[in-house]
Amino acid sequence: MTHRISAVFFLIMFSAALTAYGGSFNILPLKVFFDPQKRTDVLKIKNTGEKPVTIKVNVLAWTQDEKSKEIDVYQPAKDVAFMPRILTIKAGEEGKVKLGYDKKPSMSEQSFRVIVEEVPQADTEGMALRMALKMSIPIFVAPEKKAEPRGEISAAALSKGSLSFQVKNSGNTHFFIKAVRIVGLDGSGKLVDTINDKGWYVLPGAKRPYVIAIPADKCKSYATIDIDIETDKLTLKDRVNVDKKMCAS
């Protein structure tokens, strides 16, 4: 069964007890990369808290579908081996999770997520429930051929005061959107306003849609809107001509 999980994996579990306190652990590395020369890796999980922590580990296959509510779609993974699935780490100590991938590379990069989740535990007096920390670490498996990042901005349009567009990954490897800048210019090319938005990963073959509201007073002073997407691997640009009828009334 397909699981749809929010892109942000730093979840806090609710507490029904009188008080609650957070667990704490660090994970390295924050990203895992596999290729034909590197088929294994180790996650190091350090318990930075003052009490033992029990950790549950799982690996999910990660794809993207712009028609899905959360965009990111997760399913149980069969191609990544990992052990142990549950481990208890004493305060100040470090636990390790071994990861391995032994399948033939695909034409496009394959993506997975390691879900590292603290198991909630009551304290010794039974008065508090620890707030469980849940983190997600990406795994990327290099494509069969050389990784070639390519992307484009598509379907850019302004309607009723909303600017919509898609960031499409047409390459065979992921990229991460570091910044989305919407720049409004008047008829002389002078800057009127800049709107900044956040980004996320775009996996090979995927599209990430954006809908950004343009304030009516600003919109009507624009002649053009520039879309500037900065990623960790390439820069994408597009321009939309503004008709005042496209702005919100």
The CATH code that applies to domain 151-244 is: 2.60.40.10
Q: What tens digit of pLDDT does each residue of 154-206 get?
A: 999 999 999 999 999 999 999 999 999 999 999 999 999 999 998 899 999 99
- Which of 216, 204, 210 is CA-nearest to residue 242? 216
Cβ-Cβ contacts under 8 Å for 188 (sequence gap 6 or more): none
Cα-Cα-Cα-Cα dihedral sign, residues 51, 54, 59, 62: negative
Q: How confident is the model at residue 131 (pLDDT cuts 50, 70, 90)?
A: low
Sequence spans of domains, the chain: 11-141, 151-244
pLDDT on residue 16: 28
Domains 11-141 and 151-244 share a fold: yes
Question: If we measure between CA atoms, which residue out of 153, 144, 145 comes closest to residue 175?
Answer: 153
Per-residue pLDDT tens for 4-54? 444 433 333 322 222 333 458 899 999 999 999 999 999 999 999 888 999
pLDDT band at 130, cuts 50/70/90?
Answer: low
Instruction: With a cut of 90, say whether residue 248 has pLDDT above it.
Output: no
Take residue 145 and report the two structure tokens written for it.
């051929």
- Name the class of domain 11-141: mainly beta
